[in-house]
């Protein structure tokens, strides 16, 4: 019996679930992270040309490291004295380098030199975010850890929490330091496993990356805020003029249609970014929840930091998206009302035109009857004259005068002419009905 045929994508789809494993990491260690995004519509970039892959290959060749498969969307392997994790996403690519050479100087900019300057200059895009993460064993004295946090981070922005049931204490202030990088720190007890540390690090970096991507929607909201306000005012003014009948309905309708077109164009241009913002925000929330964070030494955690600093920006984006939708609906509804008013006015005008046409048709009918009557008279006059001339020779035989002969033939001739004209009119009417 032949085995059942597999769907052509069965193995690929199953493998995708296991394609990006968490790295195994042990303390002490330094993690250098870089996310690159092309300017503009990065989701529509031509990946087939392989600019992202070529950039990865250039870095690996610089270190003489093994190269990935041609069509790979992720990579993890040794790179000199480092380990590199590379991932290609819808709008960006990420490079995460793990090294054991932890500098004595906390967050030394030289630790980011794992990415050569010339290689950074050749990046097929712009830096979305970059981070240095310092992974260290948990100090035996809590005071030492608190002192390090005070020295390394801005106190007012510091977010710190105990995660994964005490597997680590993580911290970060989400500020860009003088070297251009964000700083994160993770302190792990001896009993925390390497894979669990890898999960913690990856989630921290994902929080930063997806937070930054979602904030692009907030930047777009600020950019279009003035235009949206102008269109909202224009719509309100036009509706007020429509109510007060200060403009002709046709002129108001044309102006409203212009606003509607501008609104629909703006919605089309912003829909992808707003949808992406909602998706990235959901990932940020999920990653924070997955850390199972517990408050550490009374400090604010990552969840509280996001609630106070990040959530208002996301609500602003959502508010702008809904505002655009409501404005579009309102403009469309006002346009429909104006179309109805224009149609009613045109119907009234058409009714008046039809009444005028009826009157004209009645006048034309009366005129036609008058013309027909005159035609009968004129034709009868000439017909009586002709018949009289034909019958004048009979006056000598019948001894009738010409006047009596003319009078005798007048009525029959007029009757015959009238019947002939009426018959012609009936034929014309029958042809029109056909």
pLDDT band at 254 (very low <50, low <70, confident <90, very high): confident
Per-residue pLDDT at 392:
67
Q: To which residue do tokens 């149609």 refer?
A: 343
How would you write 251-271 as a 3-class SS string? Answer: HHHHHHHHHHHHHHHHHHHHH
Average pLDDT, the chain: 85
- What contacts 316, CB < 8 A, 6 or more positions away? 218, 221
Measured in residues, the chain has a length of 434
Alpha carbon distances (Å) from 427 to 330, 416, 424, 431, 433: 59, 17, 5, 6, 10
Of 161, 74, 174, 80, the residue nearest 133 (C-alpha): 174
What number is the average pLDDT over the span 171-190?
Answer: 96
Answer yes or no: is pLDDT of 47 > 60. no
Q: pTM (2 decimals)?
A: 0.76
Per-residue pLDDT at 4:
85
State yes or no: cis peptide before 28, omega within 30 of 0: yes
- The more confidently predicted of residues 33 and 243 is 33
**What DSSP assignment string belongs to 334-375?**
HHHHHHHHHHHHHHHHHHHHHHHHHHHHHHHHHHHHHHHHHH
Residue spans of beta strands (DSSP E) within 60-192 = 74-79, 82-88, 92-99, 126-137, 159-163, 168-176, 182-188
What number is the average pLDDT over the span 253-275?
Answer: 86
Using CA atoms, how far apart are residues 219 and 37, in angstroms rounded to an integer? Answer: 16
79 neighbors 97 (Cβ within 8 angstroms): yes
133-157 pLDDT, tens digit per residue, is 999 999 988 889 999 999 999 999 9
- What contacts 30, CB < 8 A, 6 or more positions away? 98, 99, 100, 101, 102, 103, 111, 132, 133, 134, 135
* Side-chain-side CA neighbours of residue 29 (13 Å): 21
- The more confidently predicted of residues 278 and 365 is 278
Using CA atoms, how far apart are residues 85 and 10, in angstroms rounded to an integer? Answer: 26
Nearest 5°: the CA angle 86, 92, 97 is: 30
What number is the average pLDDT over the span 333-344?
Answer: 70
**141-145, 217-221, 258-262, 337-341 — which one is most confidently predicted on average?**
217-221
Per-residue pLDDT at 42:
72
What number is the average pLDDT over the span 51-72?
Answer: 92
Domain boundaries in the chain?
A: 20-201, 215-347, 373-433
Helical spans, DSSP H, in 158-308: 194-244, 249-290, 302-305
Answer yes or no: is pLDDT of 18 > 80. no
């Amino acid at each position: 019996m032949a085995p059942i045929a597999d769907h052509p994508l069965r193995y690929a789809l199953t493998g995708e679930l296991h394609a990006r494993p968490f790295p195994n990491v042990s303390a002490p260690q330094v993690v250098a992270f870089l996310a690159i995004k092309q300017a503009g519509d990065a989701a529509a970039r031509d990946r087939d040309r392989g600019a992202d892959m070529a950039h990865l290959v250039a870095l690996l060749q610089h270190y003489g490291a093994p190269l990935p498969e041609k069509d790979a969307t992720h990579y993890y392997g040794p790179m000199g004295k480092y380990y590199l994790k590379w991932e290609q996403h819808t709008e960006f690519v990420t490079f995460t380098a793990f090294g054991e050479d932890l500098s004595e100087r906390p967050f030394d900019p030289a630790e980011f030199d794992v990415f050569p300057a010339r290689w950074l200059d050749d990046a097929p895009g712009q830096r979305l975010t970059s981070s240095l993460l310092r992974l260290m064993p948990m100090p035996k004295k809590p005071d030492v850890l608190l002192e390090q946090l005070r020295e390394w981070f801005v106190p007012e922005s510091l977010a710190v929490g105990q995660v994964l049931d005490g597997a680590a204490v993580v911290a970060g202030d989400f500020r860009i330091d003088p070297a251009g990088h964000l700083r994160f720190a993770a302190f792990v007890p001896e009993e925390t496993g390497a894979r669990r540390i890898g999960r913690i690090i990856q989630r921290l970096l994902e929080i930063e990356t997806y937070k930054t991507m979602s904030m692009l929607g907030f930047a777009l909201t600020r950019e279009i805020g003035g235009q949206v306000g102008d269109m909202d005012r224009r719509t309100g003014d036009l509706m007020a003029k429509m109510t007060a009948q200060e403009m002709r309905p046709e002129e108001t309708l044309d102006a409203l249609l212009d606003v509607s077109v501008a609104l629909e164009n703006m919605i089309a241009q912003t829909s992808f970014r707003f949808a992406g913002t909602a998706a990235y925000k959901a990932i940020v929330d999920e990653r924070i929840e997955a850390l199972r964070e517990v408050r550490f030494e009374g400090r604010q955690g990552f969840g509280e930091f996001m609630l106070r600093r990040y959530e208002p920006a996301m609500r602003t984006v959502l508010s702008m998206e809904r505002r655009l939708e409501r404005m579009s609906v309102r403009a469309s509804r006002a346009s429909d009302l104006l179309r109805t008013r224009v149609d009613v006015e045109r119907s009234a005008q058409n009714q008046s035109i039809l009444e005028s046409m009826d009157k004209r048709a009645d006048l034309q009918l009366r005129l036609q009857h008058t013309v027909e009557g005159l035609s009968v008279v004129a034709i009868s006059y000439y017909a009586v004259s002709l018949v009289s001339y034909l019958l004048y020779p009979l006056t000598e035989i019948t001894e009738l005068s010409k006047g009596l002969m003319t009078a005798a033939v007048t009525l029959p001739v007029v009757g015959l002419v009238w019947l002939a004209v009426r018959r012609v009119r009936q034929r014309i009417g029958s042809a029109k009905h056909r």
